[in-house]
């Protein structure tokens, strides 16, 4: 069991607030942390990693204290059994892909393990390349490999897929699932993407201003948020004419009929949402 009870004063764009989180995580699970920007998500996982020191509280991992204010215990990041994947990859530019992994490989481990990991993410042909010629998806896969190479007890992923396109996100989600089934680390993933959370996580919390406002299975949380199926499309008005507005939404230009009052009120460039409760189900499988 991983027991978190941490408090930390944070400075956000909307002013100072206190991160105050009590959370028990079952080891070996994938759990997600969601919430608006500046809610304290990254701070929370940096506190777990030992990169940020809380003001008070305790962190217990399998009954071992990683942090305990009362007993003055604060393990350095080096002594915590963790892997950390940053949103911006943070591969070391002075090292090749293989050297990045070699750097992370614990002493006395078989270097063949690097080849196995590279094969698993289908990047073995890029082993001798420097990271700056790789695409975002390739970089993030290497970052994942580098974080998992030490077989950490806890893998912390800070919005690892946020900068990737949908296709690459799916590939990376599968890589995360594969790594989880192989090494069984507890994975904490910070994410904004409901589909990703539902796909990966067995439990999630939502943070608001540093406090947990919701804790449940992702599917239950999202079910609560929408008790009947409504499809919402966000778009930007690019033109308006007699009784119609032209929207750019879902990567397409759409023409929508509107009332005269709406036409008077809405302006070109406004962001709008269209909600529909009528739908047709079509499989995207080939």
Partner 1 sequence: MNAFWEPLILSVKLASIATLLLFMIGSFWVYVLSMYSFVGKSLLKALVSVPLVLPPTVLGYYLLISFHKEALVGSFFDQLFNVQLAFSFEGLVIASLIFSLPFMVNPMLSAIENLPVSFKESAFTLGKSKINTFLKVMIPNIKPAIVAACVMSFAHTIGEFGVILMIGGNIPGETRVASVAIYNEVEALNYNTADSYSLILLFFSILVLTLVYIFNNKKISSAKVI
Q: Is 130 in the site for partner 1 (CB under 8 A)?
A: yes
Residue 232's contacts (CB-CB under 8 Å, 6 or more residues apart) are 273, 274, 275, 276
By beta-carbon proximity to partner 1, the closer residue of 67 and 203 is 67
By beta-carbon proximity to partner 1, the closer residue of 79 and 268 is 79
| Binding-site string for partner 1 from residue 131 to residue 150, where x marks contact by CB under 8 A and - marks none | -xx------------xx--x
Write down the least CB distance from residue 282 to partner 1, Å.
42
Write down the least CB distance from residue 62 to partner 1, Å.
18
Number of residues that bind partner 1 (CB under 8 A): 25
Write down the least CB distance from residue 191 to partner 1, Å.
19
Q: Is 266 in the site for partner 1 (CB under 8 A)?
A: no
Q: Is 108 in the site for partner 1 (CB under 8 A)?
A: no
With contact defined as beta carbons under 8 Å apart, do 98 and 125 qualify?
no
| Binding-site string for partner 1 from residue 74 to residue 103, where x marks contact by CB under 8 A and - marks none | --xxx---xxx-x-x-x-xxx--------x
DSSP letter, residue 55: S
Write down the least CB distance from residue 104 to partner 1, Å.
5
DSSP SS3 for 76: coil
Q: Is 185 in the site for partner 1 (CB under 8 A)?
A: no
Q: Is 68 in the site for partner 1 (CB under 8 A)?
A: no
Main-chain dihedrals φ then ψ at residue 19, nearest 5 degrees: -80, 125
By beta-carbon proximity to partner 1, the closer residue of 130 and 192 is 130
By beta-carbon proximity to partner 1, the closer residue of 106 and 269 is 106
With contact defined as beta carbons under 8 Å apart, do 136 and 168 qualify?
yes
Using CB under 8 A, list all residues that contact partner 1.
46, 49-51, 76-78, 82-84, 86, 88, 90, 92-94, 103-104, 106, 130, 132-133, 146-147, 150
């Amino acid at each position: 069991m991983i027991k978190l009870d941490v408090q930390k004063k944070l400075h956000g764009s909307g002013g100072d607030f206190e991160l105050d989180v009590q959370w028990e995580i079952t080891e070996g699970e994938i759990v997600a942390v969601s919430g608006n920007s500046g809610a304290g998500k990254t701070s929370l996982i940096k506190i777990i990693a030992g990169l940020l020191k809380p003001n008070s509280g305790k962190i217990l991992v399998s009954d071992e204290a990683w942090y305990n204010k009362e007993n003055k215990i604060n393990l350095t990041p080096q002594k915590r059994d963790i892997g950390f994947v940053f949103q911006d990859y943070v591969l070391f530019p002075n090292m090749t892909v293989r050297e990045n992994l070699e750097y992370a490989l614990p002493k006395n481990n078989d270097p063949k393990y690097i080849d196995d990991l590279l094969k698993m993410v289908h990047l073995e042909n890029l082993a001798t390349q420097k990271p700056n010629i790789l695409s975002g998806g390739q970089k993030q896969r290497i970052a994942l490999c580098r974080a998992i190479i030490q077989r950490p007890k806890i893998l912390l992923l800070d919005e690892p897929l946020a900068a990737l396109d949908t296709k690459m996100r799916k590939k990376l989600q599968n890589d995360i699932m594969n790594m989880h089934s192989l090494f069984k680390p507890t994975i904490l993933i910070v994410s904004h993407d409901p589909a990703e959370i539902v796909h990966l996580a067995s439990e999630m919390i939502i943070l608001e201003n540093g406090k947990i406002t919701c804790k449940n299975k992702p599917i239950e949380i999202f079910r609560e948020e929408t008790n009947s199926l409504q499809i919402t499309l966000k778009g930007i008005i690019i033109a308006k004419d007699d009784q119609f507005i032209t929207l750019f939404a879902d990567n397409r230009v759409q023409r929508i009929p509107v009332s005269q009052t709406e036409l008077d009120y809405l302006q070109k460039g406004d962001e709008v949402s269209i909600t529909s409760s009528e739908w047709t189900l079509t499989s995207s499988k080939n």
